Chain A
Protein backbone atom coordinates (compact mmCIF):
# COMPACT_ATOMS: atom_id res chain seq x y z
CA UNK A 1 0.00 0.00 0.00
CA UNK A 2 1.32 3.39 -0.98
CA UNK A 3 2.18 5.67 1.93
CA UNK A 4 -0.31 8.51 2.06
CA UNK A 5 -1.64 11.18 4.37
CA UNK A 6 -3.36 8.71 6.68
CA UNK A 7 -0.09 6.90 7.47
CA UNK A 8 1.57 10.10 8.61
CA UNK A 9 -1.53 11.07 10.60
CA UNK A 10 -1.51 7.66 12.30
CA UNK A 11 2.13 8.11 13.34
CA UNK A 12 1.30 11.59 14.61
CA UNK A 13 -1.70 10.30 16.57
CA UNK A 14 0.30 7.52 18.22
CA UNK A 15 3.07 9.97 19.09
CA UNK A 16 0.55 12.36 20.63
CA UNK A 17 -0.99 9.54 22.69
CA UNK A 18 2.46 8.50 23.94
CA UNK A 19 3.16 12.07 25.01
CA UNK A 20 -0.20 12.27 26.76
CA UNK A 21 0.45 9.01 28.62
CA UNK A 22 3.85 10.33 29.65
CA UNK A 23 2.31 13.52 31.03
CA UNK A 24 -0.32 11.60 32.99
CA UNK A 25 1.74 8.66 34.27
CA UNK A 26 5.25 9.98 34.91
CA UNK A 27 6.04 11.86 38.13
CA UNK A 28 9.32 13.56 37.28
CA UNK A 29 8.71 17.16 36.20
CA UNK A 30 11.48 17.11 33.60
CA UNK A 31 10.24 13.89 32.00
CA UNK A 32 6.72 15.37 31.94
CA UNK A 33 8.20 18.33 30.11
CA UNK A 34 9.84 16.04 27.56
CA UNK A 35 6.47 14.35 27.00
CA UNK A 36 5.00 17.78 26.31
CA UNK A 37 7.67 18.25 23.66
CA UNK A 38 6.65 14.92 22.15
CA UNK A 39 3.05 16.14 21.90
CA UNK A 40 4.14 19.38 20.23
CA UNK A 41 6.22 17.37 17.76
CA UNK A 42 3.25 15.16 16.95
CA UNK A 43 1.25 18.27 16.07
CA UNK A 44 4.14 19.47 13.91
CA UNK A 45 4.21 16.18 12.02
CA UNK A 46 0.47 16.36 11.37
CA UNK A 47 0.77 19.95 10.11
CA UNK A 48 3.67 19.17 7.79
CA UNK A 49 1.88 16.19 6.29
CA UNK A 50 -1.33 18.20 5.81
CA UNK A 51 0.74 20.90 4.11
CA UNK A 52 2.38 18.36 1.82
CA UNK A 53 -0.79 16.57 0.82
CA UNK A 54 -2.83 19.74 0.26
CA UNK A 55 -0.12 21.46 -1.81
CA UNK A 56 -0.12 24.51 0.46
CA UNK A 57 2.93 25.86 2.23
CA UNK A 58 1.02 27.59 5.06
CA UNK A 59 1.19 24.53 7.31
CA UNK A 60 4.97 24.62 7.25
CA UNK A 61 5.00 28.30 8.20
CA UNK A 62 2.79 27.40 11.17
CA UNK A 63 5.24 24.65 12.15
CA UNK A 64 8.04 27.20 12.00
CA UNK A 65 6.15 29.39 14.47
CA UNK A 66 5.37 26.39 16.69
CA UNK A 67 9.06 25.48 16.89
CA UNK A 68 9.91 29.07 17.89
CA UNK A 69 7.21 29.22 20.55
CA UNK A 70 8.20 25.77 21.84
CA UNK A 71 11.78 26.94 22.28
CA UNK A 72 10.61 29.98 24.26
CA UNK A 73 8.26 27.78 26.28
CA UNK A 74 11.03 25.32 27.16
CA UNK A 75 13.26 28.15 28.37
CA UNK A 76 10.54 29.61 30.60
CA UNK A 77 9.35 26.21 31.85
CA UNK A 78 12.81 25.02 32.77
CA UNK A 79 13.48 28.30 34.58
CA UNK A 80 10.27 27.71 36.53
CA UNK A 81 11.38 24.16 37.39
CA UNK A 82 14.76 25.43 38.60
CA UNK A 83 13.07 28.12 40.72
CA UNK A 84 10.70 25.51 42.15
CA UNK A 85 13.58 23.15 42.88
CA UNK A 86 15.37 25.91 44.80
CA UNK A 87 12.31 26.42 47.01
CA UNK A 88 11.23 22.80 47.51
CA UNK A 89 14.37 20.72 46.81
CA UNK A 90 12.29 18.40 44.64
CA UNK A 91 11.24 17.99 41.04
CA UNK A 92 8.60 15.44 41.81
CA UNK A 93 4.93 16.20 41.16
CA UNK A 94 3.79 14.32 44.26
CA UNK A 95 5.76 16.66 46.49
CA UNK A 96 3.96 19.69 45.08
CA UNK A 97 0.68 19.56 46.95
CA UNK A 98 0.21 23.14 48.14
CA UNK A 99 -2.86 23.54 45.90
CA UNK A 100 -4.45 20.34 47.16
CA UNK A 101 -7.66 20.83 49.13
Chain B
Protein backbone atom coordinates (compact mmCIF):
# COMPACT_ATOMS: atom_id res chain seq x y z
CA UNK B 1 0.00 0.00 0.00
CA UNK B 2 2.79 2.38 0.93
CA UNK B 3 4.64 1.52 -2.26
CA UNK B 4 1.55 2.44 -4.28
CA UNK B 5 1.24 5.76 -2.48
CA UNK B 6 4.88 6.52 -3.13
CA UNK B 7 4.41 5.67 -6.79
CA UNK B 8 1.45 8.05 -7.09
CA UNK B 9 3.11 10.95 -5.32
CA UNK B 10 6.28 10.71 -7.41
CA UNK B 11 4.35 10.75 -10.69
CA UNK B 12 5.32 7.13 -11.34
CA UNK B 13 1.81 6.18 -12.41
CA UNK B 14 1.94 8.63 -15.30
CA UNK B 15 5.25 7.14 -16.40
CA UNK B 16 3.86 3.61 -16.29
CA UNK B 17 0.74 4.73 -18.16
CA UNK B 18 2.94 6.42 -20.76
CA UNK B 19 4.78 3.19 -21.45
CA UNK B 20 1.53 1.21 -21.58
CA UNK B 21 -0.16 3.60 -24.01
CA UNK B 22 2.97 4.05 -26.13
CA UNK B 23 3.46 0.29 -26.45
CA UNK B 24 -0.21 -0.18 -27.32
CA UNK B 25 -0.08 2.60 -29.93
CA UNK B 26 3.02 1.25 -31.64
CA UNK B 27 1.87 -2.38 -31.52
CA UNK B 28 -1.48 -1.55 -33.09
CA UNK B 29 0.24 0.67 -35.68
CA UNK B 30 2.46 -2.25 -36.70
CA UNK B 31 -0.63 -4.43 -37.02
CA UNK B 32 -2.27 -1.78 -39.23
CA UNK B 33 0.48 -1.87 -41.83
CA UNK B 34 1.64 -5.48 -41.54
CA UNK B 35 -0.71 -7.99 -39.99
CA UNK B 36 0.73 -11.51 -40.20
CA UNK B 37 -2.67 -13.13 -39.72
CA UNK B 38 -4.91 -11.25 -42.08
CA UNK B 39 -4.60 -9.16 -45.23
CA UNK B 40 -8.13 -7.89 -44.92
CA UNK B 41 -8.43 -4.06 -44.93
CA UNK B 42 -11.19 -4.30 -42.30
CA UNK B 43 -8.66 -5.72 -39.82
CA UNK B 44 -6.32 -2.82 -40.59
CA UNK B 45 -9.15 -0.36 -40.00
CA UNK B 46 -9.99 -1.95 -36.64
CA UNK B 47 -6.37 -1.76 -35.51
CA UNK B 48 -6.27 1.87 -36.67
CA UNK B 49 -9.20 2.54 -34.32
CA UNK B 50 -7.23 0.95 -31.46
CA UNK B 51 -4.16 3.02 -32.36
CA UNK B 52 -6.19 6.21 -32.27
CA UNK B 53 -7.85 5.37 -28.95
CA UNK B 54 -4.54 4.60 -27.24
CA UNK B 55 -3.10 7.74 -28.76
CA UNK B 56 -5.86 9.79 -27.17
CA UNK B 57 -4.69 8.19 -23.92
CA UNK B 58 -1.28 9.73 -24.64
CA UNK B 59 -3.02 13.07 -25.24
CA UNK B 60 -4.67 12.74 -21.82
CA UNK B 61 -1.25 12.15 -20.23
CA UNK B 62 -0.12 15.38 -21.92
CA UNK B 63 -3.12 17.15 -20.33
CA UNK B 64 -4.68 17.87 -23.74
CA UNK B 65 -8.16 16.88 -22.60
CA UNK B 66 -10.13 18.60 -25.35
CA UNK B 67 -7.96 17.16 -28.11
CA UNK B 68 -8.23 13.66 -26.62
CA UNK B 69 -12.02 13.91 -26.86
CA UNK B 70 -11.89 15.37 -30.37
CA UNK B 71 -9.47 12.65 -31.44
CA UNK B 72 -11.90 9.92 -30.44
CA UNK B 73 -14.96 11.73 -31.80
CA UNK B 74 -13.52 12.70 -35.17
CA UNK B 75 -11.06 9.91 -35.92
CA UNK B 76 -12.49 6.84 -34.19
CA UNK B 77 -16.01 8.05 -34.89
CA UNK B 78 -16.36 9.85 -38.19
CA UNK B 79 -13.22 9.03 -40.18
CA UNK B 80 -13.18 5.32 -39.40
CA UNK B 81 -16.87 4.95 -40.20
CA UNK B 82 -16.08 6.56 -43.56
CA UNK B 83 -13.23 4.10 -44.11
CA UNK B 84 -15.35 1.08 -43.23
CA UNK B 85 -18.18 2.39 -45.38
CA UNK B 86 -15.90 2.68 -48.41
CA UNK B 87 -14.42 -0.80 -47.78
CA UNK B 88 -17.96 -2.16 -47.71
CA UNK B 89 -18.90 -0.20 -50.83
CA UNK B 90 -15.93 -1.42 -52.84
CA UNK B 91 -16.32 -5.02 -51.67
CA UNK B 92 -12.56 -5.49 -51.61
CA UNK B 93 -11.19 -8.97 -51.71
CA UNK B 94 -8.25 -9.91 -49.57
CA UNK B 95 -5.03 -8.50 -50.87
CA UNK B 96 -2.96 -11.19 -52.52
CA UNK B 97 0.32 -11.77 -50.78
CA UNK B 98 2.72 -10.50 -53.40
CA UNK B 99 6.43 -10.49 -52.98
CA UNK B 100 7.82 -7.24 -51.64
CA UNK B 101 9.95 -5.61 -54.29
CA UNK B 102 13.59 -5.09 -53.44
CA UNK B 103 13.45 -1.53 -54.73
CA UNK B 104 10.49 -0.62 -52.51
CA UNK B 105 12.09 -2.19 -49.45
CA UNK B 106 15.36 -0.36 -50.09
CA UNK B 107 13.57 2.96 -50.56
CA UNK B 108 11.63 2.42 -47.34
CA UNK B 109 14.71 1.52 -45.32
CA UNK B 110 16.69 4.48 -46.66
CA UNK B 111 13.93 7.00 -45.89
CA UNK B 112 13.27 5.55 -42.43
CA UNK B 113 16.99 5.56 -41.71
CA UNK B 114 17.33 9.18 -42.70
CA UNK B 115 14.33 10.16 -40.54
CA UNK B 116 15.89 8.38 -37.55
CA UNK B 117 19.22 10.13 -38.23
CA UNK B 118 17.50 13.53 -38.39
CA UNK B 119 15.66 12.74 -35.16
CA UNK B 120 18.80 11.93 -33.19
CA UNK B 121 20.63 14.90 -34.67
CA UNK B 122 17.79 17.20 -33.64
CA UNK B 123 17.55 15.64 -30.19
CA UNK B 124 21.28 16.12 -29.59
CA UNK B 125 21.10 19.85 -30.33
CA UNK B 126 17.73 20.53 -28.68
CA UNK B 127 17.25 22.50 -25.53
CA UNK B 128 15.36 20.55 -22.89
CA UNK B 129 11.79 21.73 -22.36
CA UNK B 130 10.18 22.79 -19.11
CA UNK B 131 10.94 20.14 -16.52
CA UNK B 132 7.58 20.27 -14.73
CA UNK B 133 5.02 21.66 -17.21
CA UNK B 134 1.89 23.31 -15.88
CA UNK B 135 -0.01 23.79 -19.12
CA UNK B 136 -3.59 22.50 -19.11
CA UNK B 137 -5.23 21.95 -22.50
CA UNK B 138 -8.74 22.43 -21.20
CA UNK B 139 -11.63 23.46 -23.41
CA UNK B 140 -11.97 26.95 -21.99
CA UNK B 141 -8.38 28.03 -22.68
CA UNK B 142 -8.33 26.41 -26.12
CA UNK B 143 -11.65 27.98 -27.12
CA UNK B 144 -10.54 31.38 -25.96
CA UNK B 145 -7.38 31.17 -28.04
CA UNK B 146 -9.32 29.84 -31.02
CA UNK B 147 -11.78 32.72 -31.03
CA UNK B 148 -9.34 35.54 -30.33
CA UNK B 149 -5.94 34.95 -31.85
CA UNK B 150 -6.93 32.29 -34.38
CA UNK B 151 -10.26 33.59 -35.65
CA UNK B 152 -9.16 33.99 -39.26
CA UNK B 153 -7.73 30.47 -39.64
CA UNK B 154 -10.85 29.14 -37.97
CA UNK B 155 -13.07 30.82 -40.56
CA UNK B 156 -10.83 29.68 -43.40
CA UNK B 157 -11.09 26.09 -42.16
CA UNK B 158 -14.87 26.35 -42.25
CA UNK B 159 -14.67 27.44 -45.90
CA UNK B 160 -12.30 24.53 -46.54
CA UNK B 161 -14.82 22.09 -45.10
CA UNK B 162 -17.50 23.52 -47.39
CA UNK B 163 -15.21 23.19 -50.41
CA UNK B 164 -14.37 19.60 -49.46
CA UNK B 165 -18.09 18.81 -49.14
CA UNK B 166 -18.87 20.22 -52.59
CA UNK B 167 -15.87 18.40 -54.06
CA UNK B 168 -16.95 15.08 -52.61
CA UNK B 169 -20.48 15.47 -53.97
CA UNK B 170 -19.10 16.35 -57.39
CA UNK B 171 -16.63 13.43 -57.38
CA UNK B 172 -19.17 10.85 -56.35
CA UNK B 173 -21.74 11.79 -58.99
CA UNK B 174 -22.49 8.96 -61.38
CA UNK B 175 -21.04 10.54 -64.48
CA UNK B 176 -17.58 12.07 -64.31
CA UNK B 177 -16.81 14.38 -67.21
Interface on A for B, CB 8 Å cutoff? 2-11, 13-22, 24-28, 30-31, 33-35, 37-38, 41, 44-45, 48-58, 60-61, 63-65, 67-76, 78-83, 85, 87, 91-92, 94
Beta-carbon contact of B33 and A76 below 8 Å: no
Which one of A8, A9, A60, A73 has the highest number of Cβ atoms from chain B below 10 Å of its Cβ? A60
Interface on B for A, CB 8 Å cutoff? 11, 14-15, 18-19, 22, 25-26, 29-30, 32-34, 41, 44-45, 48, 51-52, 55, 58-59, 62-64, 66-67, 70-71, 74-75, 78-79, 82-83, 86-87, 89-90, 92, 95, 98, 100, 104-105, 107-108, 111-112, 115-116, 119, 123, 128-131, 133-135, 137, 141-142, 145-146, 149-150, 153, 157, 160-161, 163-165, 167-168, 171-172, 176
Beta-carbon contact of A9 and B119 below 8 Å: yes
Which single member of A34, A67, A87 contacts B83 (CB below 8 Å)?
Answer: A34
Pair count A-B, CB < 8 A: 215
Which single member of A11, A54, A72 contacts B130 (CB below 8 Å)?
Answer: A54
For A40, the closest partner residue in chain B by CB is: B75
Which single member of B62, B107, B123, B167 contacts A48 (CB below 8 Å)?
Answer: B62
Beta-carbon contact of B83 and A78 below 8 Å: yes
Known: A2-B15, A69-B157, A76-B168. A17 touches B62 (CB 8 A): no
Beta-carbon contact of B130 and A9 below 8 Å: no
Known: A48-B62, A52-B64. A3 touches B14 (CB 8 A): yes
Complex: A72 Cα to B159 Cα, angstroms:
11
